[in-house]
Structure 1
Amino acid sequence: MIPENTTIKVGEKVDLGKEGIIARKAGQSYLDDLIIEGEVDNTKPGIYELVYRVTIDDKEHKRKRLITVIDENV
């Protein structure tokens, strides 16, 4: 389970770590094998894509998450 897409304001922090992520199969956790690709620049408005990727039983699983940074002064 990957965190939801989210919208933040310029300068606001967003947790991009592994907290709240579930990566397991048959009771075994694969969280240590999880790779998070992409970056979010919270100083610039835009839409940033993160890819959460893990390989379980030789099969790659990946999910995308969008972080939208908005400037309320525009």
Structure 2
Amino acid sequence: MTEIPVKDKIKFAVSLITDFAKKHSLSTTQAFNYLDRFNAIDFINQHYSVAHTLPFAEILDNLALYCKNHGGNL
């Protein structure tokens, strides 16, 4: 299996963070800090190969649920 370029993962994560911020009326810094605090950034990185094949709206909903299940309260 070929290694996924880091820049692809970064672009994907930045897009998710930006859209997550918009969806939840947060700054991008607040969104990053929230997602990082509840380990969603690591989750995105670990599951990139599957996550990037899903509809973006579904991923955003799943990230919110993931964070909620790990103590978040958006």
TM (normalized to structure 2)? 0.32
Give the greater-gyration-radius structure (CA).
1
Q: Larger relative contact order (C-alpha < 8 A, sep ≥ 6)?
A: 1
TM (normalized to structure 1)? 0.32
